[in-house]
Amino acid sequence: MIFRIAAIVPLGLAACGQLDPLPLGAEGPVTATAHAYAPAAPAVSYGGYRVAEPADWRGVNDAQAGR
């Protein structure tokens, strides 16, 4: 129990201390420009899969393995 108190007291005192000021130029990244538009279409085309009954797992594995 004393070991826990000995570990918690310095951490608690350090948490209450004042922080160092940030260096100059550390304001963060530059904001996005006004003319940066999002793309109009998705980057990947959708294949249009249909809902079907579950297939036999052996057939699915063979199809993925290229047999």
Q: How many residues belong to the chain?
A: 67
pTM to 2 decimals?
0.27
What is the pLDDT at residue 31? 60
CA dihedral 63, 64, 66, 67 (to 10 degrees): -50
> CA-CA distances (angstroms) from residue 67 to 27, 30, 59?
57, 52, 10
What is the pLDDT at residue 28? 65
SS3 label, residue 13: helix
Query: What does the DSSP 8-state code read for residue 27?
Result: S
Structural tokens at position 17: 């201390």
How does pLDDT run across 18-45, given as a tens digit for each residue? 888 877 776 666 665 566 677 777 777 7
